[in-house]
Structure 1
Amino acid sequence: MIGKYEKEIITKLLDKYEKSKSFIGENKINQKFSVKIASVFPKYTDHSNYEMFQELNEAIDVLVRKGFIIAKANSAHVYNNAVLNIDDLEEIYKYIGRMPKKGINKSVLELMEKYKGRNEILDRYFEMQYERIHSNKSIQYFSNDLIELENILVAVDELLKVDTETFVRDFSVRTFKDSKMFERIVAKVINLIYEFGNFPEKSQILGNLNVFKNPTYVNFKGAGSITIKGQKIELTNLSGDIAISSAMLNDIERIDVAGNAVITIENLTSFHTFSDENVFAIYLGGYHNCVRREFIKKLYKQNQNIAYYHFGDIDAGGFYILQHLKHQTGVDFKPFNMDIETLKSYSKYIKPLTENDRDRLSKLINSEYCMVIKYMIENNCKLEQEAINN
């Protein structure tokens, strides 16, 4: 059985080898791969720890006798360096029970080929990993566990197919036949989708893909009425909002707007404080999910001859949400209080942009909101909608 010191020495040497140009055949001269024993084991030269000194020397002696490393001791039997014998790599890998990196890369490439063409996010991820492998860089979201990597790929594939509200545990059972498997990989799955997809807010990804921990609701209020299974509720007469769960969505027969406009509102506080007797208001909660999206589509189908607005933060996220809302619902929402005049009127509440803000805003510079976007970048400002008195 291999000793812990033998394994650690060989592991350090193989790590160096696998990160080198020699590994990918790009080095024209013969490289040597060595480690300083005292750097790997700082207590090696501590004379008070003779037991460790002796065990380490025995481990080095074993590796030298097997021909796996080259090492010479001084007169005090202290080893300075250990050099990897690259002529015996196959046996060295077997000895420590480690799969060669070339074999791992081959398995990953085969796995990626299996899922190639499933969706654009995975294909973009694969394209980047092909480049990284051929440049001898680490594979993203891979921890030398092929089973975990395949589960991540499966999760990304299946998430993009979800078209109705699904709970996290149900998704996990349906996809993996294990109610907790998805929770174990969800962070890597979300990070991969965020990096290679087109989702401006990482925290909203699962909800946007219709996967939730709990049932979702649509909150709405204002000028109009809703008819559910023959029961008509006059919203205009109510002093506040009402909410329906996703389970009731199919029971809605009509949504009639009595006023002249519909407005979606990004943040909850702003939704509760918003008041206009001629407007039907819907709480969006950031990026809309399938429930709010379908509610809006039902409403629009029966109320097409009125104005539609979106009220959100005057920042990159707010405009991305507006774009996403328009694209996903097919409704031409116009920005409400998301302009230069509003920024000027509430200048005492503005906040400076972060580097991430600037990067995201720059991607919107040629959009229909270009004037306010340019103003924000030039004047280093953004504004939360809670600061606005509507």
Structure 2
Amino acid sequence: MISKYEKEIINKLLDKYEKSKSFVGENKVNQRFNVKISSVFPRYTDHSNYEIFQAVNEAVDTLVRASFIIAKANSAHVYSNVILNVAKLEDIYKYIGRKPKKDINSSVLNLMEIYKNKNQILNKYCETQYERIHSNKTIQFFNNDLEELENILIAVDELLKVDTETFSRDFSVKVFKDSKVFERIAGKVVNLIYEFGVFPEKDRILGDLNIVKNPTYVNFKGPGSITINDQKIDLTSLSSDIAISSKMLSDIECIEVTGKAVITIENLTSFHTFSDKDMLAIYLGGYHNRVRREIIKKIHQQNSQIAFYHFGDIDAGGFYILEHLKRQTGVDFIPFKMDIETLEAHKKYTKRLTENDKKRLTKLVDSQYHKVINYMLENNCKLEQEAVNVE
């Protein structure tokens, strides 16, 4: 039976080999792959620990007799380093029960062929992995578990087909026949979609794709009325807002705006403190999924003569969300209090930019928001909308 010391030695050597140019056939000279025994087993040279010294020596002796490695001990039977015998690679992989990287790569490439044309995100992901495999780089979102990788690809494919709000557990049962599978891979799925898709904020992706943990609502308040199944609700006469379940949004027949504008507000606290008798205010539940966007489109179609504003954080995420909302609805939203004047008026509440903030803002310097973007970069500041006085 193979010992844990044999496995450790062989795995270290194979790791070196699989990361080398020789592995992809690009090296013009023969490479030797060796590791120092003391780096693999730091306690090997500890004279007070004879058991480990003896166990490691036995492992090395066994591997040398099998011609898997080349090693030479000194007069005290101490090994300095061991060298992989690349001529015996096939036997070595079998001996320790390790699947060769070439076989793993081949299986991944076959999987990519199945999913690369499912949607644009998967196409970008697969094309990138082709390049990484051929450059002997690690495969993103893959930890040598082929089943998990396929589940990730399946989830990305199925998520983009969800057209009604769905609980994450129900999605998992429908797609994987198991309520826990999606929960286990959700982090990797979201990271993949964020990297290869076009979404403003990573933590809003599932909501944007109609996957929720709990029932959600859209809040309305201000000058206007909503008609649901022939029942007209006069928002103007209400002392506060009204929340409508996402399940009922498709039942809305008409939203009439009697004020001068509509404003969507990103943050719930800001929505509750907002007060303008000329604006119908809408809180979209933290993200703009298909159902919510359809409501925006309906309001715009039925009230095309009025202006539409969006109020969000004055940071990279806020502007990305605004652009995403405009792109997905076709409505030309005007930023509300997302300007230099607001930053200067609330200067004591601003925060410093992170490196990620700067990176994302830099991508917007040529946008229509270039003045406020440049100001933020030059003054190293951003502002959460809760700090803005909107009463």
Same fold (TM over 0.5): yes
CA–CA distance in structure 1, aligned partners of residues 314 and 47 of structure 2: 65
Cα-to-partner distance string for 1:315-342 (whole Å, 9 max, x where unaligned): 1111111111111112121111112222
Moved more, 92-101 or 356-365: 356-365
* 1:180 maps to amino acid: K
In structure 2, what is the equivalent of residue 189 of structure 1? 189
In structure 2, what is the equivalent of residue 264 of structure 1? 264
In the alignment, does 2:158 pair up with 1:158? yes
Matches within 5 A, 1:113-152: 113-152=113-152
Q: Per the alignment, in what secondary structure is the counterpart of residue 389 of structure 1? A: coil
Q: Per the alignment, in what secondary structure is the counterpart of residue 105 of structure 2? A: helix
Alpha-carbon contact 2:201-2:321 (below 8 Å) kept: no
Q: What is the Cα deviation at residue 344 of structure 1?
A: 2.2
In structure 1, what is the equivalent of residue 305 of structure 2? 305
CA–CA distance in structure 2, aligned partners of residues 39 and 22 of structure 1: 23
* 1:369 maps to amino acid: Y
In structure 2, what is the equivalent of residue 253 of structure 1? 253
CA–CA distance in structure 1, aligned partners of residues 297 and 368 of structure 2: 23
* 1:149 maps to amino acid: L
Moved more, 185-194 or 51-60: 51-60
Q: What is the Cα deviation at residue 243 of structure 1?
A: 0.4
What's the Cα RMSD here?
1.4
CA–CA distance in structure 2, aligned partners of residues 158 and 275 of structure 1: 41
Q: Per the alignment, in what secondary structure is the counterpart of residue 225 of structure 2? A: strand
Alpha-carbon contact 1:165-1:246 (below 8 Å) kept: yes
Matches within 5 A, 1:76-91: 76-91=76-91
Cα-to-partner distance string for 1:84-134 (whole Å, 9 max, x where unaligned): 111111101110111111111111111111111111211111122112111
In structure 2, what is the equivalent of residue 61 of structure 1? 61
Moved more, 171-180 or 38-47: 38-47
Alpha-carbon contact 1:255-1:302 (below 8 Å) kept: yes
CA–CA distance in structure 2, aligned partners of residues 365 and 45 of structure 1: 58
Cα-to-partner distance string for 1:226-257 (whole Å, 9 max, x where unaligned): 12222222111111111011121222222111
Cα-to-partner distance string for 1:155-190 (whole Å, 9 max, x where unaligned): 111111111111101111111111111111111111
Q: Per the alignment, in what secondary structure is the counterpart of residue 79 of structure 2? A: coil
In structure 1, what is the equivalent of residue 19 of structure 2? 19
Q: Per the alignment, in what secondary structure is the counterpart of residue 71 of structure 1? A: strand
In the alignment, does 2:32 pair up with 1:32? yes
In structure 1, what is the equivalent of residue 316 of structure 2? 316
Cα-to-partner distance string for 1:25-52 (whole Å, 9 max, x where unaligned): 1112111111111211112222222222
Moved more, 230-239 or 10-19: 230-239
Alpha-carbon contact 1:218-1:291 (below 8 Å) kept: no
CA–CA distance in structure 2, aligned partners of residues 312 and 81 of structure 1: 60
Q: What is the Cα deviation at residue 285 of structure 1?
A: 4.0
CA–CA distance in structure 2, aligned partners of residues 235 and 77 of structure 1: 88
CA–CA distance in structure 2, aligned partners of residues 120 and 226 of structure 1: 37
CA–CA distance in structure 2, aligned partners of residues 314 and 163 of structure 1: 30
* 2:146 maps to amino acid: L
CA–CA distance in structure 2, aligned partners of residues 78 and 123 of structure 1: 53
- Structure 2 portions without partners, runs of 5+: none
Q: Per the alignment, in what secondary structure is the counterpart of residue 77 of structure 2? A: coil
In structure 2, what is the equivalent of residue 42 of structure 1? 42
CA–CA distance in structure 2, aligned partners of residues 200 and 278 of structure 1: 29
Matches within 5 A, 1:274-289: 274-289=274-289
Alpha-carbon contact 2:165-2:246 (below 8 Å) kept: yes
Cα-to-partner distance string for 1:52-78 (whole Å, 9 max, x where unaligned): 222221111111111101111222221
* 2:108 maps to amino acid: V
Q: What is the Cα deviation at residue 23 of structure 1?
A: 1.1
Q: Percent identity?
A: 75
Q: What is the Cα deviation at residue 261 of structure 1?
A: 1.0
* 2:301 maps to amino acid: K
CA–CA distance in structure 2, aligned partners of residues 106 and 345 of structure 1: 59
Equivalences, count: 390
- Structure 1 portions without partners, runs of 5+: none
CA–CA distance in structure 2, aligned partners of residues 310 and 46 of structure 1: 67
CA–CA distance in structure 1, aligned partners of residues 137 and 264 of structure 2: 45
* 1:18 maps to amino acid: E
In structure 2, what is the equivalent of residue 385 of structure 1? 385
In structure 2, what is the equivalent of residue 101 of structure 1? 101
CA–CA distance in structure 1, aligned partners of residues 88 and 337 of structure 2: 70
Alpha-carbon contact 1:215-1:246 (below 8 Å) kept: yes
Moved more, 344-353 or 34-43: 344-353
CA–CA distance in structure 2, aligned partners of residues 379 and 193 of structure 1: 32
* 1:132 maps to amino acid: R
In the alignment, does 2:365 pair up with 1:365? yes
CA–CA distance in structure 1, aligned partners of residues 344 and 385 of structure 2: 14
CA–CA distance in structure 2, aligned partners of residues 57 and 186 of structure 1: 45
CA–CA distance in structure 2, aligned partners of residues 217 and 315 of structure 1: 25
Moved more, 55-64 or 295-304: 295-304
In structure 2, what is the equivalent of residue 221 of structure 1? 221
* 1:113 maps to amino acid: E
